Amino acid sequence: MIMDKAFKTEAMVLTKRNWRENDLLFSFYTKDFGKIEAVVTGARKSTSKLVGPLSSLGVVEIIFVKGKIQNKITHTYLLQTWPVTSLETHYCLSVVREIMTRFVQPDVISKSLWKLFVWFIPSLSSQTDKESQRLLLNIFLIRFLKILGYDFKTDECVQCQKEIEEAKRYSFHHKGFICVNCSGGEMKVSQKVFLTIKKIQEQTYIKEIVLDKISNKELFSFLRKYLQYFLEREVRSLSLI
C-alpha cells in the first residue's frame, strides 16, 4: 500500500467554509507553500480535535496530504497566538484576510509576504489605539502592494521625468506622482503622505513610522482608491475602517 506523502509547514488561517456534510474547508497562507486550501474532515462534529488550533488568531503548524480534489489536514498544532483586542482589530484583520484571499495567487511562495503577515498580526494585536492600528494597516498595504509588483514610483515626476522632491497629485493613468511644477493627476496628495509612502517603500526592514491623524487618514483614503483602481475590485472590508 502506497502512503500519501505528508507536508508540514507553518500557516495562518485566512478563511473557512462548510465543505460537504461534516467537513470544513480552510484557506491558509503558509510559510513554505504560499496560499493553499485544505479540508478538515469531521470538523463540524464536536469530537474534532483538529479545529481548536485553527480557531485562534495565530501561527499554527499544519500537516497535510495532497488529494485529487482537495488537500487534507491530518494534524494541527498552535505555535503562537494573539488576542483580538477590539472591534477595530477585527476590522483590520478582515481587510488583510480579504486582500490575501482575493489578490494572492495560490501556490506562489513568497517569503517576503509571509514575513509581512507574521509582522502585522502581533503588531496590530499589541495596539489598542485606533489611529495606531490604521497606520499599521497603511504600512501593511504599501508593503503588500510592493511585493505584488504594484509599488509606487517615487523617484521622478511622471509628467516631466525629473527627480521629484515635492509631490502635489497622483496620476492613476500614468501610474505615478506629479511634481508641483506640472499639471494633471486625478488625486491630490500632500507632501507628508508622499514622503511617508517613499520611506515605507525604501525601508529594508519595517521601522517605526510617525504620522499625524489627518495625514494618516489621507494616506488610508489614497490607498483605498489605489487598490480599487489597480486591482480593479473594491476591497469591501475597507469600508469598515
What tens-digit pLDDT sequence spans the chain (241 residues)? 344 688 999 999 999 999 888 889 999 999 999 999 999 988 777 667 788 888 888 999 999 998 878 899 999 999 999 988 889 999 999 999 999 998 899 989 999 999 999 999 999 999 989 999 999 999 999 999 999 988 888 999 999 999 999 999 999 888 899 999 999 888 999 999 999 999 999 888 888 889 999 999 999 999 999 998 877 778 889 988 8
Same fold, 6-81 and 105-240: no
Q: What is the pTM of this model?
A: 0.91
| Domain 6-81: CATH superfamily, name plus number | Nucleic acid-binding proteins (2.40.50.140)
Q: CA 70, CA 160: separation in Å to the nearest integer?
A: 52
Domain ranges of the chain: 6-81, 105-240
Q: Which of 127, 121, 140, 112 is nearest to 57 (CA)?
A: 121
Q: Alpha-carbon torsion 74, 65, 63, 100, what sign?
A: negative
The CATH architecture assigned to 105-240 reads Up-down Bundle (1.20)
DSSP character string of 49-104:
SSSGGGGSSEEEEEEEE--SSSEEEEEEEEEEE----SHHHHHHHHHHHHHHHHHS
